[in-house]
Structure 1
Amino acid sequence: MSQAPAPFGPEYGFGIYVHWPYCAKICPYCDFNVYAAKDRDNSPLLSAIRKDLEIHRPRMPEHGKADSLYLGGGTPSLLAPADIAGLVTAAEDSFGLKPDAEITLEANPNDILRMDLEGLKAAGVNRLSIGVQSLRDHALAFLGRDHDSEIARMAMTRAMKVFRNSSIDLIYARPGQSHDEWQVELEEILDFGAPHISLYELTIEERTAFGKAAARGHMTPMEDDDQADLYELTQDVLSSAGLPAYEVSNHAVSEAYQSRHNKTYWNGGDWIGVGPGAHGRLSVGGNRYASEAERQPATYIANVQALASGWSDASKLYPIDNARELLAMGLRPATGIDRRRIETVADRALPQTKIDVFVDEGWMVQDGSRIALTAKGRLLADALTAELSP
């Protein structure tokens, strides 16, 4: 029998995530750590993020150069190319970036139209993730976006001329959205030729404006069965167009355009999280740690200035928590996960009888020690994961 693979760590990917917390407008569905941009001096926070990366280096002697750098938020496209170049340089100086490293910037359509995209490319960015969310003006207004459909279309066209490696984000399963409406919208998005599309069902989180509206009865989320119908339609339309799902919500024309940074999350790799509220997963000395940076920008800056890094917490994960996370994340991509990794951490076997049932139902496939959900099974991902969870 072959030796069981390592359960987690940088051999499954090593990324750096930078969280920029400011937004021109806070969307009613957003549950991230974000704040209104306003007029402010960004220099202290940029300086703190760069210093935070430097502080991480001696704590992670087993890590080589990073596979990816992801600038998310918030709205990091509010930053100037020179500021972004400074963050890329800090990542390079602290850890190094592999020659083919994926460097992604999340960008809103309005920013794409005003930005120096060539300057952005010169700063090191080689992939854009564009927050389009919809091509319907009434939906954009409902979602609280600060752009309309015309701006979204112009932004995608402009972005694709400079960044062939661009991803488009859309939100569906909106209240009242019909099957036919969503199909037409998908077909319009496909016409732009983006090699990667991320499609997220609208989730109503309790702490958000939408969550509060739903609690008061002012908003009714789409029924689960209707959401499932739209999910199946999404898979059919994008697969037929040559963008099959390589993960529950993500589609790409080929492996070359799949998100390397997100694959690090799903595959149980390591990533550093810097910036207010950023999370990380770090493997050191055979143990795995969960880090969370201070959420308030001022507190984060003060922590870094005290040379303690921006972490508010970096706790060692218990084996059972590691195992459950590996299972939940590992079943998201279409490639699945080697069950031995989970069983090694949990020190117990996954229930084979349940796996057999899932295979018989067409929800899962099993190839040796590797298990993966089918397209049908991904509709039930949360429930199936809970059934198998050690």
Structure 2
Amino acid sequence: MTRDFGVYVHVPFCTVRCGYCDFNTYAPGELGGATPSGYVDAALREMSLAGEAMGADVRPASTVFFGGGTPTLLPADALARLLGGVREVWGLEPGAEVTTEANPDSVTRESFETLAAAGFTRVSIGMQSAVPHVLATLERTHNPDNVARAVAWAHEAGLVTSVDLIYGTPGESLDDWQRSLDAAIALEPGHISAYALVIEPGTKMGAQLRRGEVAPTDPDTQADMYEAADAALSAAGYSWYEVSNWSKTHAERCRHNMAYWTSEDWWGVGPGAHSYLGPASGRQAKRWWNVKHPRAYGDVLAKGELPVGGEEELTAADLELESVMLRIRLAGGIPAASAPPGAVARLIAEELVEGADAVRGTLRLTLRGRLLADHVVRVLTA
């Protein structure tokens, strides 16, 4: 059976680096001579080489996702040109989902119209919070009022719209979080993501935490925030389909991310982008990643070589472990038969999976199970 295929395009540019960000992104002073226009040419070159490398395995993409960084820092016609490269190399399935992430301050009504005309179908807008002091702590530079305008423009252009939120910022209260939830719901997007802030050691905020300049959010408070999100979103007609993602309808789910969670194939284009091709006849599953810096990325491609920075082959045991770790986070759950002896009874007793569903053969997380998903994975992979 042929797996679905997707393309991820990493656009590594940001106007500033947010203090919590641990992604492969670069502000203007960090580019070392690389330029956005040079990046577009290099990315198109990688696509061409990727098509040659895949050979007979080339197949149309069912999803395309432009992430970053801030993809919408590129002009809309540059994003359209990159999507044209995907079409030329792989083609697009009929009804393909094509998403871009967007900062609300880097879009206009006209840019959304250009993207929709080029074949984009979906936009994920980085709102993060509606509360000024929370945005300031996160070092987000956008004007909260621009989120509403961006969502309205996206709706006018006919794009499926997601709003992305972060909870658990140092200094954020439960009331602050409820205010952000209410503001996001009022915009009536088809999809809302809510991610708990994780302060990574190597970030600016990680250094602030070590110096005592910011206080970590209490885990119990973060749990309360998640429960508040689920209650508010459920009351507004959204259903969870992955631990951190809710949509109004099945059609408004992010199909590209679903492909990650269900281990479909994808090619990652751009500096630091990861790729995955699953097992096939005579081939072991393989994951690889590109060199990180935009200048190094462009330099390798200028030599006519794929910019691979590292790779690993995955065994059947690796794939099984990853499948459990990812699929248990989905509302559809996983087969109970895949659990080790005693695990199902333990998870039911701890109220981490729905008991009736487990008895019928499927492990689906309860609300408590979603809060303790990492613990569930440890039980299932012991």
Q: Is this a same-fold pair by TM over 0.5?
A: yes
Contact 2:128 2:164 in 1 (8 A): yes
Paired letter, 2:309: S
Q: Which amino acid aligns with 2:325?
A: A
User: What CA deviation, in whole Å up to 9, does each residue of 1:106-159 have, x standing for no partner?
Assistant: 110111237522112112211111011111111111111111222223222222
1:317 to 306, 314, 319: 314
Higher relative contact order structure (alpha carbons within 8 Å, sequence separation ≥ 6): 1
Q: 2:245 aligns with which of 228, 250, 256?
A: 250
Q: 2:353 aligns with which of 352, 356, 364?
A: 364
1:238–1:244 CA contact under 8 A, matched in 2: yes
Q: What amino acid sits opposite 1:363 in the alignment? A: L
1:208-267: CA deviations, max 9, x gaps? 111111112211111111111111111111011111211111010011000000000111
From 367, 377, 380, the counterpart of 1:385: 377
Matched, 1:209 2:204: yes
Asked if the contact 1:106–1:128 (Cα under 8 Å) also holds between the matched residues in 2, the reply is yes
The amino acid of 1:307's aligned partner reads G
Within 1, Cα distance between the matches of 2:20 and 2:269?
23
CA contact (8 A) 1:140 1:148 kept: no
Q: Tell me which residue corresponds to 1:87.
A: 82
> What is residue 346 of structure 1 aligned with on the other side?
none
Contact 1:274 1:310 in 2 (8 A): no
Q: Cα offset for 1:329?
A: 1.0
Q: Which moved more, 1:194-203 or 1:160-169?
A: 160-169
Which residue of structure 2 aligns with residue 75 of structure 1?
Answer: 70
Distance 1:338 1:46 in 2: 43
Partners of 2:36 and 2:346 in 1: CA distance: 55
The corresponding residue for 1:43 is 37
Kindly state the Cα deviation for residue 175 of structure 1 after the two structures are TM-superposed.
2.1
Q: Aligned runs of 1:127-166 on 2, under 5 Å?
A: 127-166=122-161
Residue 328 (structure 2) aligns with: 331
Pairwise CA distance, 1:284 = 4.8
Gaps of 5+ in 2: none
Quote the residue 2:182 is aligned against.
Answer: 187
Q: Is the Cα contact below 8 Å between 2:275 and 2:287 reproduced in 1? A: yes
| Distance across 2 between alignment mates of 1:191 and 1:215 | 37
The structure 2 residue matched to 1:355, chosen from 344, 347, 359, is 344
Please tell me whether the aligned partners of residues 284 and 315 of structure 2 are also in contact (alpha carbons under 8 angstroms): no
Alignment of 1:297-308 (within 5 A): 297-308=294-305
The residue identity in structure 2 corresponding to 1:87 is: L
CA gap of 1:95–1:159, structure 2 versus 1, over 3 A, is same
Alpha-carbon distance change, 212 to 355 in structure 1, aligned in 2, over 3 angstroms:
same
1:15 matched residue in structure 2: 6
One-letter amino acid of the counterpart of residue 123, structure 2 = L
When the two structures are superposed, what TM-score results if normalisation uses the length of structure 2?
0.92
Query: Matched residues in 2 for 1:244 and 1:41: separation?
Result: 41
CA contact (8 A) 1:364 1:374 kept: yes
3-state secondary structure, aligned to 1:307 = coil
Per-residue deviation, residues 325-344 of structure 1 (Å, max 9, x unmatched): 2111111111123467xxxx
Identity of aligned residues (%): 36
Q: Contact conserved, 2:109 with 2:153, CA < 8 A, in 1?
A: no
Amino acid at match of 1:57: G
- Change in Cα spacing, 1:303 to 1:185, as seen in structure 2 (3 Å) is same
**8 Å contact from structure 1 (residues 282, 291) kept in 2:** no
Task: Kindly indicate whether residue 288 of structure 2 is the aligned counterpart of residue 291 of structure 1.
Answer: yes
**More deviation, 360-369/28-37:** 360-369
Equivalent in 11, 20, 27 of residue 29 of structure 1: 20
Answer whether contact 2:171 2:215 (CA < 8 A) is retained: no
- Name the aligned partner's letter for residue 348 of structure 2: V
SS at match of 1:146: coil
Q: Could you tell me the TM-score, scaled by structure 1's length?
A: 0.90
Cα RMSD (Å): 2.0
2:134–2:172: 8 Å Cα contact kept in structure 1? no
Offset, 1:63: 4.8
Aligned counterparts of 1:264 and 1:243: Cα–Cα separation in 2: 21
Determine helix, strand or coil for the equivalent of 2:59: coil
